[in-house]
Amino acid sequence: MRVLSGIQPSGTLHIGNYFGMMKPMIEYQERAELFCFIVNFHALTSLTDPEALRKNTISAAADFLALGLDPDKCVFWVQSDVPEVTELTWILDNVTSMGLLERCHSYKDKISKGITPNHGLFAYPVLMAADILLYQSNIIPVGSDQKQHVEVARDIAQRFNGLYGDTFVLPEPEINEDVAVIPGLDGQKMSKSYDNAIDIFTDRETLDKTVMRVVTDSTPVNEPKNPGKCNLFALYRLFASPAEVEELRARYLAPGLKYVQFKKDLAQRIWDFFGPHREKRAELMADRETIRDILKYGADKARAIAMPTMEMVRERVGVKY
C-alpha cells in the first residue's frame, strides 16, 4: 500500500499541521510505503517572496526530521525536485473540465476570505492530482477540507484511463475524523493565512502569548461550560490522555472552571510535548547542507518511481514519437 501526502511551506508549521498531517505520516512510515513531500510549487499560490519560500522549505524539512520522519523508511523530497510533476500537470490539464474545477469549494473559500484569485489557485487541484497520480498512490490522508481534491484526482484519473487505457491507480482519501480539522485560536481551521495558528517550534514567550489569544465564551466562572463548543477544550484534548480529557470534561460541566488557568496549562503541555524534538531541530538547522542532501536522496527515489509513469503517459498520449 502506497501512502502519499504533502505539506506547503507557505509559513512556519503549526500544531494543526502536526496533528492533521505530520504525526500520521510519521506513524505511517512503520506500516506502509510512505511518500511524503514538501509542496513548494503549491506554495506559490500564496507566497511571492523567494527568500521566504527557500527558508520555509528547509525549515519544514527540519521540522519533519526532528519530529521523527526517517528518510530511510520513506520517500521524502521537495516537489520541485521532480520535474515530471509539472509535465504531467499540463497533460492532465487537457483532460480536466472547467466545470470540475469550478465546483471546488476550496478555491471559493479562499477567494471569499480575500485571497487574490489567480490561475494557480484555480488549477491547484490539477497539480495536486499530478502529485498523487505520478506516484501511483493508493491512500491519500487529508483533512476534510481537502477530500474533494482527492475526489477530483480520481475523476481526472478515470477520464484519462477512459481515453488512453488503464494508466493510473485510483486513489482513495483517508480522513481521521478525530483530527480532520484542527481548530485555530478563533475556532476556524488553524491556518497561517487566518493568523490563528500555534507554531510547533516557537519560543516560550511567543507560545504563552499565542495560547492566551485562544477565543473562549463569556460564561461566568460560577456556571457550567460547554466543552463541545470550546476552542480551548478542542486544543487541550490533543495533548491529553483519554482519562485527562474526561476529567477536564467533568470540570467544564461543573461550576468553577477558569479559562485563563487552562490556557496556562495548555501552553505548558505544548511546550513539554515538543521539548524532546527541539534540540534535534536546532542541530539540523545548524547544518542545512545535510538537510539538502537528505532531500536530494529522497528526490532521487521519487524520480525512480515518477519516470516510468511519465514514459507510459507520454507513449499513450502520443507526445513520444
Among 23, 192, 264, 301, the one annotated catalytic: 192
Query: What residue has cell string 506554495?
Result: 43
Active-site pick, 73, 189, 229, 263: 189
Within 10 Å of residue 269's Cβ, how many Cβ atoms? 17
Place of cell 476552542: 231
User: What span, in angstroms and rounded, lies between the C-alpha atoms of 244 and 45?
Assistant: 41
What is the pLDDT at residue 184?
A: 94
pTM score of the predicted model: 0.91
292 three-class SS: helix
Q: For the CA atoms of 215, 220, 226, 231, what is the dihedral angle to 10 degrees?
A: 10
Question: How far is it, in rounded angstroms, from Cα 210 to Cα 214?
Answer: 7
pLDDT along the chain (321 residues), means of 10: 95 93 94 97 93 97 98 98 98 96 86 83 95 97 86 98 98 79 90 90 97 94 92 94 94 92 95 96 96 98 98 97 90
Three-state DSSP class for residue 280: helix
| pLDDT number for residue 178 | 64
What integer pLDDT is reported at residue 308 of this predicted model?
A: 98
Domains and CATH numbers, the chain: 2-182+287-317 (3.40.50.620), 201-282 (1.10.240.10)
3-state secondary structure of 168: coil
Question: What pLDDT shows up at residue 179?
Answer: 60
Q: Which residue has the cell 483530527?
A: 179
Number of helices (H), then strands (E), belonging to the chain: the values are: 15, 5
Q: Secondary structure of the chain: what % helix, strand, coil (to 5)?
A: 60, 10, 30
Are 10 and 56 a contacting pair, CB within 8 Å?
A: yes
CA-to-CA dists, residue 101 to 73, 97, 105, 125, 130, angstroms: 35, 7, 9, 7, 14
Catalytic residue from among 110, 147, 296, 320: 110
Q: Tell me the C-alpha distance between 41 and 56, whole Å.
A: 13
Active site residue 189: yes
Whole-angstrom CA distances from 139 to 40, 97, 111 are: 21, 24, 29
Give me the phi and psi of 218, to 5 degrees please.
-100, 20
**In the prediction, which pLDDT does 105 show?**
86
Tally of residues, the chain: 321
Residue 192 annotated in active site:
yes
* Cell numbers representing residue 136 in the block: 501511483
User: Angle, to 10 degrees, between the axis of helix 259-285 and the axis of helix 204-211?
Assistant: 150
288-317 vs 84-93: helix crossing angle, rounded to 10: 40
Closest CA to 107 of 146, 140, 157: 146
